Structure 1
Amino acid sequence: MESGWMQMHLSLSRALARALSAVLVVACTVFGAAPGALAAGLSVHDVSLDPCPAEDIGAQPQLKRPSGASCFVLRGSVDNPGRKTVFDTDVFAQILDASGEPVLQNRSRVGSIGDVEQGTSSFALRLAVPAGTPGPFSFSNVKARGFSAPVRTRAGEFDDLLPLEQAVADVDPA
């Protein structure tokens, strides 16, 4: 009697392991993650949100009207305490306006900062905030997540940054 129960239990355990493995493969396929690429959380600090400089092409002064958007730059530092690079890193944050309403509706991902080497790195992301959104802005839950292996196709040295983001990253906020 016990051996029949043990065999049934072992059979169910194997079936569950196969099902979980299949779910993992499907998730990796659907979300584009390379098999074996594990997610890594990184700490973010020294975060600021400032208007884009007037000379920044992303500021688009000709579009400053109630139906347009205002350009802001989210800057900060990210720490990678590990010994290896974290790849394809995204930054997440909840940004609120003066009345406590979310500035970026239905999204917490604010952008990609590419690969993060070991140690502390700075980042800058350009954000389009709906014009007329009352400031000052506050932010919380700022975090970064990347992978232990690349999950996107590599095209070149700056493949993760659009030309506008490259320009923002090179501009000193002072």
Structure 2
Amino acid sequence: MFWRSLTVIFLSSIMAVLSWVSPAAALTQLRLSDISYTECPSEIAKGSVTSGGTSMAANCFLVTGKAENATRKTVYDADIFGRIYDANNDPVMQNRTRLGSIPEVPPGVTDFEFRISVAANQPTPLQLKQFKAAGFSAQVRK
């Protein structure tokens, strides 16, 4: 009886997760290129990094690039993954590889950008590595 109940709970959980995405939605990989960064314009550059309730000075950067959708369908809710290191090869986003997202990527090449905050004590230049993205071929239900 216990295993039967556990199986029902497990299958119900899987069904709930799958219901968040349209049944026709497939995960689509996007090729990223021309990844670079610049300092934020002054109007959006103010900020701080918080850790454990402590606030530290931070520098603001905009990461930019191009996402190529080689399919014939628009890709939605594409997550951007990558690693960012400082000049000393120390990670900028500790234990975090999801860095940003692109709401919509039509077929072809689309420019993207997202903002990151980096602790002011981490030296530049930043190193942007292992960037990739994936999204869905249909909109995710919210």
TM-score over 0.5 (shorter chain): yes
Q: How many pairs does the alignment contain?
A: 128
What's the counterpart of residue 59 of structure 1? 45
- Structure 1 runs (4+) deviating above 6 angstroms are none
What's the counterpart of residue 71 of structure 2? 82
SS in 2 for 1:68: strand
| Structure with max Cα Rg | 1
- TM-score using structure 2 length: 0.79
Query: Could you tell me which of 25, 28, 33 is aligned with 2:15?
Result: 25
Q: How far, CA to CA, are the matches of 1:34 and 1:135 in structure 2?
A: 42
SS in 1 for 2:76: strand
Structure number with higher relative contact order (C-alpha < 8 Å, ≥ 6 residues apart): 2
SS in 2 for 1:25: helix
More helix by share: 1
SS in 1 for 2:113: strand
Q: How far, CA to CA, are the matches of 2:59 and 2:22 in structure 1?
A: 36
Identity in percent: 38
RMSD: 2.4
Query: Could you tell me which of 21, 26, 29 is aligned with 1:41?
Result: 29
Query: Could you tell me which of 48, 71, 83 is aligned with 1:94?
Result: 83
Stretches of structure 1 that go unaligned for 5 or more consecutive residues are 1-20, 154-174
Query: Could you tell me which of 93, 111, 114 is aligned with 1:104?
Result: 93
Contact 1:44 1:78 in 2 (8 A): yes
Contact 1:42 1:145 in 2 (8 A): yes
SS in 2 for 1:49: strand
Contact 1:38 1:148 in 2 (8 A): yes
Letter in 2 for 1:71: C
- TM-score using structure 1 length: 0.66
Q: How far, CA to CA, are the matches of 2:30 and 2:96 in structure 1?
A: 19
SS in 2 for 1:58: helix
